[in-house]
Copies of this chain bind each other. A is one copy, B any other.
Amino acid sequence: MTSISDYSTSNKIPNILIIGVGGVGSIIAYGLDYNKKSNVSILVRSDYTKVVNSGYTIDSCDYGFIKNWKPNCRIFPDIQSSTSLKPYDYIIIATKNLPDIINFEKIINPIVDEKKTTIILFQNGFGNEVPYLQNYPNNIILSGISHIGSHNINTFITQTQKDKSFISYFYNKNIPLQIQNLKTNHFISIYSNEKNDVNYFPDAQYYRYRKLVYNASLNTVCALTGVDTGRLEFFGGLDKISIPIMYEIIGIAKADNVELPSDVINSVVHSDDGDYFQPSMLVDVKKGNPMELEVILGNLLRKAKYLNVDCPKLSFLYDLLQIVQFRLKENRCLIPPLPEKRPIYKEKFYS
């Protein structure tokens, strides 16, 4: 008989690795460390030397001001070195989610133990679990949705909004539901404390659709037009552009048997009340970084296609943002260089 112990390492104290120590990942790592219920290691790439020498400075609305914080276990510069601490009970991925650029499900392969390792995706987007379930069909994959406000500038972490999160399992048909449920709650038990607000949520899909109502309609349109959500409203884009798009998203969810609440549009529209808020994709465009386009729009549209749902505005928006994404990738040398002189395709006839 399958038991929960098949899905854990023999470590008495759970062994955790956090990949992606930005605004979100750093506070997750700190919170786990603070609880002293797990061995916490982090994987840090560009800031490695700095963090090994002096750790992070954290200015947190939840935990106060902490200087030179380092996790209780190890700091690794890459996946290869992190194999030394195998097996991991939990691998938390809290990086930007850019499957068109980097495939973490392949990168983490050397440190994932079949069944034993639970992978937690603390990331934006929709359909994020699909490549993980394909690569690790016998592992539990959890969904972490964070509502934190936090950023990391050169190892200085500024957390301005509470670490509020919702943890679910991404349904894996190969593993008894009860075990997926137990694992979700086990993780919550080692992560939750009196400072943060960690919640169990039974249905990952529902919550991710709910978050897309914001991300696919406001984050995307702000990124494309270059304005914050306040200006989008002032300039008439909320009523003319984003709300019609929200209806398309609600329609896809419905076709996927996810019934979003009747006030979802109202609460999404009011979610930045009082703020000229710049959503993440707009921030990316302004910084010249690639956007999380595929997990916010691409996967949703592939799902809509599969479900045979027509969504002309979302599709057109995706077409347009794909061009922007190419531009951002070209600027970061993430695509092959274009020919110096534009080629002429005379043989091509367009009609």
Contact = CB atoms under 8 A, between A and B. Distances in A.
Contacts of A243: 350
Given A241-B319, A273-B344, A320-B241, A266 B351 contact: yes
Interface stretch (A48-56, A76-84, A116-124, A227-235): A227-235
Interface stretch (A67-75, A296-304, A322-330): A322-330
A243 B262 CA distance: 38
B269 A350 contact: yes
Nearest to A313: B316
Interface residues of chain A: helix, strand, loop or mixed (majority):
helix
A37 to B, nearest CB: 40
29 contacts: A221-B320, A224-B320, A225-B323, A225-B327, A226-B324, A227-B323, A230-B338, A231-B323, A231-B327, A231-B330, A231-B338, A234-B338, A235-B323, A235-B326, A235-B327, A236-B323, A237-B320, A237-B323, A241-B316, A241-B319, A263-B351, A265-B350, A266-B351, A269-B350, A273-B342, A273-B346, A276-B342, A313-B316, A320-B320
A235 B221 CA distance: 20
Nearest to A232: B323
A186 interface: no
Given A221-B320, A235-B322, A351-B265, A327 B270 contact: no
* Residue of A232, A240, A342 with highest tally of chain B CB at under 10 A: A342
Nearest to A272: B342
Given A316-B316, A351-B265, A351-B266, A224 B224 contact: yes
Given A243-B350, A327-B231, A341 B225 contact: no
A179 B81 CA distance: 86
Interface of A: 221, 224-227, 230-232, 234-238, 240-241, 243, 262-263, 265-266, 269-270, 272-276, 312-313, 316, 319-320, 322-324, 326-327, 330, 338, 341-342, 344, 346, 349-351
Given A231-B327, A273-B344, A326-B235, A320 B350 contact: no
Contacts of A342: 230, 272-276
Given A231-B326, A234-B338, A270-B346, 6 more contacts: A226-B327, A234-B326, A235-B327, A237-B320, A265-B350, A266-B350
A221 B276 CA distance: 26
A266 B345 CA distance: 11
Contacts of A237: 319-320, 322-323
Contacts of A326: 227, 231, 234-236
A250 to B, nearest CB: 11
A28 to B, nearest CB: 30
